Amino acid sequence: MTHHLAPGVWGVVATPFAGPSLDVDEASLARLVRHYADIGTSGLTVLGVFGEAARLDAAERRRVLDTVVAAVDLPLVVGVTALSTAPAIEEAEQIRAALGDRLAALMVQVNSPRPEVVTEHLGAVHKATGAPIVVQDYPVSSGVRITTPDLVTVVRELPSAAAVKAEAPPTPAAVAALTGALDVPVFGGLGGLGLLDELAAGAAGAMTGFSCPEGLLACVEAYRVGGYEAARAAYAPYLPLVNFEAQAGIGLAVRKEAIRRRGLIEASGVRPPAPTMPAALGPQLDRHLAATPGALASGEEVR
Amino acid sequence: MTHHLAPGVWGVVATPFAGPSLDVDEASLARLVRHYADIGTSGLTVLGVFGEAARLDAAERRRVLDTVVAAVDLPLVVGVTALSTAPAIEEAEQIRAALGDRLAALMVQVNSPRPEVVTEHLGAVHKATGAPIVVQDYPVSSGVRITTPDLVTVVRELPSAAAVKAEAPPTPAAVAALTGALDVPVFGGLGGLGLLDELAAGAAGAMTGFSCPEGLLACVEAYRVGGYEAARAAYAPYLPLVNFEAQAGIGLAVRKEAIRRRGLIEASGVRPPAPTMPAALGPQLDRHLAATPGALASGEEVR
Amino acid sequence: MTHHLAPGVWGVVATPFAGPSLDVDEASLARLVRHYADIGTSGLTVLGVFGEAARLDAAERRRVLDTVVAAVDLPLVVGVTALSTAPAIEEAEQIRAALGDRLAALMVQVNSPRPEVVTEHLGAVHKATGAPIVVQDYPVSSGVRITTPDLVTVVRELPSAAAVKAEAPPTPAAVAALTGALDVPVFGGLGGLGLLDELAAGAAGAMTGFSCPEGLLACVEAYRVGGYEAARAAYAPYLPLVNFEAQAGIGLAVRKEAIRRRGLIEASGVRPPAPTMPAALGPQLDRHLAATPGALASGEEVR
Amino acid sequence: MTHHLAPGVWGVVATPFAGPSLDVDEASLARLVRHYADIGTSGLTVLGVFGEAARLDAAERRRVLDTVVAAVDLPLVVGVTALSTAPAIEEAEQIRAALGDRLAALMVQVNSPRPEVVTEHLGAVHKATGAPIVVQDYPVSSGVRITTPDLVTVVRELPSAAAVKAEAPPTPAAVAALTGALDVPVFGGLGGLGLLDELAAGAAGAMTGFSCPEGLLACVEAYRVGGYEAARAAYAPYLPLVNFEAQAGIGLAVRKEAIRRRGLIEASGVRPPAPTMPAALGPQLDRHLAATPGALASGEEVR
């Protein structure tokens, strides 16, 4: 169906904050999303967990959306933070109002282990906005665990499904089951830790935050053209940084600092309750960036 | 200081939903809070975790506040759901606008294990609104764990502290440490499971959801007048229901159904992701209510 | 079937340790189990989680069993700590060798979410020893979660089942489902927190650690004779202490200290990694014991 | 000190089980550990968590040790499963009896957040056996969390410390703090996910289970000779398989199946409660092995 998301890489966009007051830094955000457009991502996912959406007020969320819309022409998926229907619709309507036709889909989390509850929730958000729905199964954020068969049921009964974002580890077997049963595209997430295996299991691509989305693109494109071995060769040079950024708890802070050191944003602050990056990791992050293909401009010093 | 909360029982108010659409039921809410006023609670805590605040949209939260303000003259503490400063201030300002002078305090959650982060957060919410702050330490909701000494530091550096709501189990030793080090009143929560021990450790009272707040009142008043043994005698008849309502996961649904069967609200629906009460528990809930002092009007049949 | 456990209260026995070296204190253990015999428990459960079985070496476990066998004539259930079949059989055979015909049943934990795995495991332990099996479903100890329907399947296919110990909260609905589908007796545990509701759901009694098993007995006997209301009246005076002993993490230490203060054991040490009781709780424990019916001998001072 | 472990790679040895009965397969074990000797590991770690030690009975643990001792001349670290002192000493003495002078060190887990408790525990195990101690900080197995400063205190006060196995994620900052404060070697674990970063933080090497320890060796040796960039180049080709084997829950089963497909063991069964590998992952595992340098003998078909 036409509302299915295009395969490839959907960049999950960080929200840059400026200075000690941690205000939304619109200039950095614009620079960051233009970078995504320049490198060839299929689209962007804004206001996701990695975008710290739950840590922004409504005006800030609006400014994030306005900034992104003005900066790039890419298709936009926008995350809904709330797990219950009324506040989810409230967010969804604000997003709809901000983006109009630019909204490719809303990303809404699985909010119950009971498929009929999820179906009603996703259907209500769709009905209120007319927007296609990316179904996000992300237990570490939602606290909700659904079985894969029940998730299949949910997506089958959701004509407006645009994609599934499969982030309940271990993901490779789940992606295989989902892609075997559904014609809706399934994307991997979780920072790209299992991207090779998710592609091999039939994933349409990656939708995740990683400081060098060039690596996700190289992997997905190589898989399309040359299959697993080509993808593996393309992705292996990025995996040291992928794993470094996947560190428990501090992953968001590490990733934002990596983006900063790449010159894509001005400052790397995270809002509490997210913990900051231990200073001891700074030199190692530099080593990673220096060695990761294309992470730093040729001859550039780490900032 | 005068902004300290009065000791006693602060009722944490459920948000009643009507029918299958689960709309906020204002008539039930008014009836419920008037019951709290009638029985002599010191005040009410609205839009807390038990009030399903995170499952309401802004208009619904406003209607809840308007309804409560119009229905009772009790002092009101209002919960702030967000853990980050910007959305917490957004909520706090909406609450301030709705309640004006009726706002006794905002209840704000501990949002970091680092005391300096919490101090800055609580201070910012206070500065934006002028409201006193009830500091809620509730790891099962926030995902944040702070040590008791660090919590003492936070509260000491917060001139606007109105109270501490101590809900990091095991609570009795924590309450003892907090009341020994602070002159701010400390309240127990967690459905009253440990109220006797929290009082013995110096708590000023209870601030929690329980379908028969009459039991909390009886306990706290008996403790004030007669000490532990009197409180124990007063509270023991309520403990079977307290424990029944404290069941993992389904506690909210059980408690709302108990409130419904008492005739205080019209319907007992909970919004997902909260699970519903297993039907098998219905007869046992009736037995509890029939035996709990004052739970049902004399001669009344369970509805 | 004759190998079903008798209904009533099965005391889960603490293992007393003497002095700073925390050696097994056989004299205290003998005194403790004789107390259980004196008050009329149906039997004893030795070397359970509450008996710190995983913290004893094989010789100590043997001495515990020998001491109990010599001290009382009660039927004995003995816990198996290991979750895998080979070490479980090793333990089971040692227990069989120590107890011979005195062994009423082995208590073995559910060790997989897959019922066929559990069935094979329990069957193998039974086959190796000939002993009836108490099936313990205790996720907080085992880390394993099985659905109630799958647990029913397991028990149905286990002719040697002596009982089920249902400790996956919330237990009341689980006990109702188990007793509705099985003719094997089902016992509540978890320190007695939900005993009234477990009895109302059809439980045959309690099998748990509590410093005043007299309260469990009073409750179960009252339920048998007079139903829920009688049980409730009998049990309410014990609930303040039940809840005090159920404190997260420190419950074991609190319970052993309560047993010590009752004069039933000489010292209350727990072996790491169990945390010790905070000293601040001592006076409150005294208050509980002074007020709990029969906890202290008439006129006795707390030791 | 001479009892410090040599730097490099210590292979954590899987325990192979034969056929549906899951008996210890000594021939496979001998073949497996000879492979480790052939490729140049510094030593072996036997009966660790990855070796499923808690799922073996004492006779099986003895046969594992006897088999390994007879098969290779490598230095041997042996894991102690119990967290409490008495059963830990029991295991330690059995290990000592089996290995005599072949025992390089015992690996003992941190068993309390309180450093004085851990110090006493580790000291007692050392005193009972004379063996040097590898201190393992592995919260996902032990359930115990200690701060890094407290872990430094523990190791400083333990003259018999042979090494620290740092497995409390995020590990890189912890390894940096440990190596900065201690002269005891610190090893990374966790399947090699963070090996590059642990080496950069000062780790002496890796002590972990991975189906291709050749990759760990290549990484550690390259780091020694050429620093981070060389290590990164050497390790990147192994990371796709490292990540595949690190899948939550099923990692052990995947890793054993990979070892089997390499021809190093006969069968890949795991003992419950470990879950088995989903069949859907088989083809992808083949792809990984075919592409991983040296995983399969030249021209060999996957078995």
Strand partners, B8: B205
Please report residues of D whose CB lies closer than 8 A to that of C143: 273
Residue B142 phi, psi dihedral angles, 5° rounding: -85, -25
H or E element, residue D164: strand D161-166
pLDDT at B303 over 50: no
pLDDT at position D46, please?
Answer: 98
- pLDDT tens digits for range B80-96: 999 999 999 999 999 99
B148, B281, B286, best to mutate vs chain C, most C CBs in 10 Å: B281
Classify burial at D183, counting beta carbons within 10 Å of its beta carbon; exposed 0-12, middle 13-18, buried 19 or more: exposed
3-class DSSP state of C12 = strand
Q: From CA C269, how far away is CA C128, in angstroms rounded? A: 35
Which residue blocks in chain D are alpha helix, DSSP H? 26-39, 58-71, 85-99, 115-129, 139-142, 148-156, 171-181, 195-200, 213-235, 239-245, 251-261, 282-291
Instruction: Indicate contact of A with C: 3+ CB pairs under 8 A.
Output: no
Asked if C180 reaches chain D (Cβ–Cβ under 8 Å), the answer is no
Instruction: Indicate contact of B with D: 3+ CB pairs under 8 A.
Output: no
DSSP secondary structure code for residue C301 in this structure: P
* Chain A to chain D Cβ contacts (< 8 Å): 98
Of B200, B239, B280, the CB nearest to C176: B280
B235/C196 Cβ within 8 A: no
Of D177, D239, D248, the CB nearest to A239: D239
- pTM of the full structure: 0.96
Q: Provide the CATH topology of domain B8-236.
A: TIM Barrel (3.20.20)
Q: How large is the average pLDDT for residues A40-44?
A: 98
Asked if B272 reaches chain A (Cβ–Cβ under 8 Å), the answer is yes
D177 → chain A, closest CA residue: A280
Confidence of residue A19 (pLDDT cuts 50, 70, 90): confident
Which residue blocks in C12-84 are alpha helix, DSSP H? 26-39, 58-71
- Write a three-state SS string for B197-250: HHHHCCCCEEEECCCCHHHHHHHHHHHHHHHHHHHHHHHHHHHHHHHHHCCCCC
- pLDDT tens digits for range B127-184: 999 999 999 999 999 999 999 999 999 999 999 999 999 999 999 999 999 999 999 9
**Where are the strands (E) in chain B, listed by range?**
8-12, 17-18, 23-24, 43-46, 76-79, 103-109, 133-137, 161-166, 186-188, 205-208
C-beta separation of A244 from A284 below 8 A: yes
Instruction: Indicate contact of D with C: 3+ CB pairs under 8 A.
Output: yes
Q: Min CA distance, D282 vs chain A (Å)?
A: 10
Of D169, D197, D240, the CB nearest to A244: D197
A145 → chain B, closest CA residue: B273
Number of residues that make up chain B: 303
DSSP secondary structure code for residue C193 in this structure: T
Contacts for B297 with CB less than 8 Å, ≥ 6 apart: B263
C-beta separation of D167 from D137 below 8 A: yes
A281/D247 Cβ within 8 A: no
Q: Min CA distance, A168 vs chain D (Å)?
A: 10
- pLDDT tens digits for range D130-188: 999 999 999 999 999 999 999 999 999 999 999 999 999 999 999 999 999 999 999 99
pLDDT at position D298, please?
Answer: 61
Give the amino acid at B125: V
pLDDT at B78 over 60: yes
Residue of D64, D73, D77 lying closest to D26 (CA atoms): D64
Of D172, D201, D236, the CB nearest to A236: D236
C-beta separation of D200 from D226 below 8 A: no
Of D172, D243, D291, the CB nearest to A239: D243
B55/A87 Cβ within 8 A: yes
Please report residues of A whose CB lies closer than 8 A to that of D199: none
Of D57, D112, D121, the CB nearest to C90: D57
Please report residues of A whose CB lies closer than 8 A to that of B137: none
Please report residues of C whose CB lies closer than 8 A to that of B196: 240, 243-244
Q: Helices (H) and strands (E) in chain C — how many of each? A: 12, 10
C-beta separation of A150 from A134 below 8 A: no
Please report residues of B whose CB lies closer than 8 A to that of C236: 236-237, 239-240
Interface confidence, given as ipTM, is: 0.95
3-class DSSP state of D299 = coil
Q: Min CA distance, A10 vs chain D (Å)?
A: 21
Please report residues of B whose CB lies closer than 8 A to that of A60: 86
Classify burial at B230, counting beta carbons within 10 Å of its beta carbon; exposed 0-12, middle 13-18, buried 19 or more: middle
Pairing of strands C17-18, A23-24: unpaired
Strand partners, A12: A45
Q: From CA C105, how far away is CA C187, in angstroms rounded? A: 14
C54/D83 Cβ within 8 A: yes
Residue of A67, A126, A138, A52 lying closest to A102 (CA atoms): A67
Of C177, C201, C281, the CB nearest to B173: C281
Could you tell me the mean pLDDT of each successive run of 10 residues in chain D, 303 residues long? Answer: 90 96 97 98 97 98 98 98 98 98 98 98 98 97 97 97 97 97 97 97 98 98 97 98 96 98 98 96 97 82 46
Q: From CA A272, how far away is CA A276, in angstroms rounded? A: 9
Of D169, D243, D249, the CB nearest to A247: D169
Could you tell me the mean pLDDT of each successive run of 10 residues in chain C, 303 residues long? Answer: 90 96 97 98 97 98 98 98 98 98 98 98 98 97 97 97 97 97 97 97 98 98 97 98 96 98 98 96 97 82 46
Asked if A52 reaches chain B (Cβ–Cβ under 8 Å), the answer is yes
B237 → chain C, closest CA residue: C236
Q: From CA C92, how far away is CA C114, in angstroms rounded? A: 22
Residue of C302, C257, C262, C263 lying closest to C276 (CA atoms): C257
Q: From CA A28, how far away is CA A30, in angstroms rounded? A: 5
- pLDDT tens digits for range B276-296: 999 999 999 999 999 999 999
Domains in chain D: boundaries: 8-236
Residue recorded with tokens 């060190």 = D105
Residues 140-169 in B contacting A (C-alpha not used; CB under 8 Å): 142-144
- B80, two tokens: 């702030």
- pLDDT tens digits for range A151-198: 999 999 999 999 999 999 999 999 999 999 999 999 999 999 999 999
Share of chain B above pLDDT 70, in %: 98
